[in-house]
Amino acid sequence: MSDRIFGAVGLILALGYAWAALVIEESFLSDAVGPKAFPLIIAAVLGLSSLVIFFKPDAAPNWPALPRLMEVGAAILVMVLYAILLPELGFVIATALAATYLTWRLGTTPVSSLVSGCLTSLGIYAVFHLVLGLSLARGPLGF
């Protein structure tokens, strides 16, 4: 079943890609092939392989149960939030929060997670910023 859905999504993707290729505005100065031809070939490969996947599906993988799926979803959300809040909070705080969350959800006790998260953040800051001189996001506090 998973592969059927995957094949169908792939086919939609291929069609969308082909459509987006067809509406590319061509410049008046163009080579013999133009900017559309290659993407259309790729769209064809994408579409054909999606069809094969759809009609000859493999055995479905073990999808995690709903709680685990939520777990992964929450981690994705945390990472996106991290990406957005990084310039607002500054590197050290944002990283400590995100690392603490991930460590906690991977099965560490809350207190050790907090310690480990803060150490991770400070450690990366020390190695990459103080020693190696990489510029990291600066928050309102300057770190």
Partner 1 sequence: METLSSLADGFVIALTWQNLLLAFLGCFLGTMMGALPGLGPSNGVAILIPLAFTLGLGATPSLILLTSVYYGAMYGGRISSILLNIPGDEPAMMTCLDGYPMAKNGRAGEALSLSGIASFVGAFLATWGLILLAPQLVKIALLFGPAEYFALFTLAFATLGGVASTNQAKTAFAAALGIGLATVGVDTQTGVPRFTFGEVHLYDGIDFLVAIVGLFALSEVFLFLEHRHGNADASGHKVTVGRLMPSWSLLKSCTPTMLRSSFLGFLAGVLPGAGASLGSFIAYTFEKKLVDKEGTFGTGDPRGVAAPEAGNNAAAGGALVPMLALGVPGSGTTAVLLAVLLSLNITPGPLLFTQQPDVVWGLIAALFIANFMLLLMNIPMIGLFTRVLLIPPRILMPIVAMVSFVGIYGISGSSFDLVVMVGFGVLGWVLRKLDVPLVPIILGTLLGNAMENNLRRAITIDNGDWFALIDSPLSIGLWTLAVIGFLLPIIFGKVVKARIRHMARDEEGATID
For binding to partner 1 (CB under 8 A), which residues are involved? Answer: 2-3, 6, 10, 17, 20-21, 24-27, 29-35, 38-39, 42-43, 45-46, 48-50, 52-53, 56, 58, 61, 63-64, 68, 71-72, 75-76, 79-80, 82-84, 86-87, 91, 95, 98-99, 102-103, 105-108, 116-117, 120-121, 124, 128, 132-137
Beta carbon of residue 32, minimum distance to partner 1 (angstroms, whole number): 4
Which residue, chain included where needed, has tokens 């013999």? 32
Which residue, chain included where needed, has tokens 């959800």? 105
Beta carbon of residue 98, minimum distance to partner 1 (angstroms, whole number): 7
- Spatial distance between the Cα atoms of 124 and 136, rounded to a whole number of angstroms: 10
- Spatial distance between the Cα atoms of 143 and 77, rounded to a whole number of angstroms: 24
Beta carbon of residue 29, minimum distance to partner 1 (angstroms, whole number): 6
Taken as a whole, the chain contains a residue count of: 143
Whether the Cβ atoms of residue 22 and residue 35 lie closer than 8 Å to each other:
no
